[in-house]
Amino acid sequence: MKYRSVFDIIGPVMIGPSSSHTAGAARIGRAARQLFGRKPERVMVTLYGSFAKTYRGHGTDIALIGGVLDFDTFDKRIVRSLEIAREQGIEVEFRESEEVPEHPNTVRLRLEDERGATEVVGVSIGGGKMEIVELNGFELKMTGNSPTLLVPHQDRYGAIAAVAGVLARHRINIGYMQVSRKEKGSEALMIIETDQAVGQKVLDEIAAQPGITGATLFA
């Protein structure tokens, strides 16, 4: 494993007791909140593997909901997150799955309100780090370590080139790119990590390209 800095070895500043079961879980919850884009009315949490067996004792439940409430890993309000969610009128349900996941610290979060729903699968990989591995049925790999564009589109020729062209015109370099699709010719999703910041003007220009159905920045 490669470490970018000494902080990757020491671990994150956090509310304990476990970097993987609390800090990583809080970051998954916060990522789900950012991808949903607003406070949810309902949160369905399905836990797998080690998360399912130890989530109460290790504080994974309060960490996940703290993240959904947009609390950072060191925010002391995390310990009261379930109570705060109830006070805000957010319905929370936890389910323990017997399904064996690829990674033991896996969770599926479904955030809902009257406007729609977002479903996210995340894994806590240790040291407070996490990866989002599924978004609304699309397989992906997203860490949030770099600005990340999520571009839903129709699976057709020219869509990827159009988005790359917009980024090139704004002198934004692509560091990593992945395309996920449910089936040939149907819905698809571009996941693009960039070396430079992406502003709203660029997002609007991308969303206006033929075949593109939206553009969201995850950072």
83, 113, 142 — which closes off a domain? 142
Answer yes or no: is 31 within a domain. Answer: yes
User: For the chain, what is the domain count?
Assistant: 2
Question: Does residue 125 share a domain with residue 176?
Answer: no
SS (H, E, C) the chain: CCCCCHHHHHCCCCCCCCHHHHHHHHHHHHHHHHHHCCCCCEEEEEEEHHHHHHCCCCCHHHHHHHHHCCCCCCCHHHHHHHHHHHHCCCEEEEEECCCCCCCCEEEEEEEEECCEEEEEEEEEEECCEEEEEEECCEEEEECCCCCEEEEEEECCCCHHHHHHHHHHHCCCCEEEEEEEECCCCCEEEEEEEECCCCCHHHHHHHHCCCCECCCEEEC
Output the domain CATH number for residue 31: 3.30.1330.90
Check residue 46 and give its pLDDT: 98
Answer yes or no: is 35 within a domain. Answer: yes
Question: Does residue 126 share a domain with residue 186?
Answer: no
Residue 13 pLDDT exceeds 70: no
83, 116, 142 — which closes off a domain? 142
Residue 17 pLDDT exceeds 80: no
Answer yes or no: is 22 within a domain. Answer: yes
Output the domain CATH number for residue 185: 3.30.70.260
List, for residues 130-151, the tens digit of each pLDDT value: 999 999 999 999 988 888 999 9
Question: Does residue 121 share a domain with residue 16?
Answer: yes
Nearest to 217 by CA among 164, 121, 142, 159: 142
Question: Does residue 171 share a domain with residue 213?
Answer: yes
How far apart are the C-alpha atoms of 148 and 191, rounded to whole Å?
Answer: 7
Residue 18's pLDDT band, with cuts at 50, 70 and 90, is low
Contact (CB, 8 A) for 120 and 108: yes
User: What mean pLDDT, rounded, does the chain reach?
Assistant: 90
Question: Does residue 165 share a domain with residue 118?
Answer: no
- Segment among 16-25, 41-50, 115-124, 169-178 with least mean pLDDT: 16-25
The pTM score is: 0.83
Question: Does residue 166 share a domain with residue 138?
Answer: no
- Which range marks the domain in which residue 12 is found? 6-142
List, for residues 25-59, the tens digit of each pLDDT value: 999 999 999 999 999 999 999 999 999 999 988 89
Beta-ladder partners of 55: none
Question: Does residue 157 share a domain with residue 136?
Answer: no
Question: Does residue 130 share a domain with residue 206?
Answer: no
Check residue 145 and give its pLDDT: 83
Average pLDDT of span 153-157: 94
Residue 100's pLDDT band, with cuts at 50, 70 and 90, is confident
- Segment among 19-23, 172-176, 183-187 with least mean pLDDT: 19-23
Question: Does residue 79 share a domain with residue 119?
Answer: yes
Residues 6+ apart with CB under 8 A from 71: 26, 30, 77, 78, 81
Average pLDDT of span 175-188: 93
Answer yes or no: is 99 within a domain. Answer: yes
Residue 6 pLDDT exceeds 70: no
Beta-ladder partners of 124: 130
Answer yes or no: is 1 within a domain. Answer: no
